[in-house]
Amino acid sequence: MELDLSTLKPAECYKVLANLITPRPIAWITTVSQEGAVNAAPFSFFNCFGSSPPIVAFAPGNKAPGIPKDTARNIRDNGDFVVNIADETLAHKMVATSASLPHGESELAIIGLTAAKSVSIKAPRIAEAPVSFECREWATLEIGSNRMVVGTVHHAHIRDGILDPQTLHLKTETFLPVGRMAAPNSYCRTSNQYEIKRPL
């Protein structure tokens, strides 16, 4: 099968990309509105892109033509966000925060999650998440009707026991994030990992 993406509709391009570029990590983003309401939503068009400085990026589509999702709107207004990572125990709650609520209503409170104060930014993190990264917006690119938020990472909250405090090596079995597979409802576990040594 050969596909020329320039001839496909956006919804078809989405299917081709989102079904085949998998597994994707999921950024469970928390932001705060100008009025102080905490917002949470998952984004799987997400990854880390460098370490000097440490940067991440994710892509919130528009709600409607020209109208940003609450996450993008809050970042535009306040300039910061937290990337929380959900493990298997939080996966259902993470997906539940993708419900679209009116601007200003908090997904966290409804779902029974706790917002915890951040150290370096305004947006709070999700206290229950095993890992959270405090980020400042570096730039938001608008490419057609896509938005890509690039952020620098300033502070990490990591549940004790996940990283060795001396070496920062990961204790694999202590951190089992979920990944996104074919859209809209497929996920993968990370509890069946294996190693391949790189050539020297």
Ligand X SMILES: Cc1cc2nc3c(=O)[nH]c(=O)nc-3n(C[C@H](O)[C@H](O)[C@H](O)COP(=O)(O)O)c2cc1C
CB of 168 to ligand X, least distance (A): 28
Q: Which stretch binds ligand X (CB under 6 A): 94-102, 112-120, 130-138, 149-157?
A: 94-102
Residue from 32, 69, 124, 153 touching ligand X (CB under 6 A): that is 69
Rounded to whole angstroms, the Cα distance separating 106 from 126 reads 12
Residue from 25, 42, 151, 177 touching ligand X (CB under 6 A): that is 42
Give residues 177-196 in contact with ligand X (rule: CB under 6 A): 180
Rounded to whole angstroms, the Cα distance separating 195 from 173 reads 13
Token couple for 51? 């370490």
| Strands laid side by side in the 131-143 sheet | 38-43, 27-32, 80-85, 131-143, 146-158, 54-58, 46-51
- As a whole number of angstroms, the longest Cα–Cα distance in the chain is 54
| Binding status of residue 60 toward ligand X by CB under 6 A | yes
Residue from 32, 37, 38, 41 touching ligand X (CB under 6 A): that is 41
| Binding status of residue 45 toward ligand X by CB under 6 A | yes
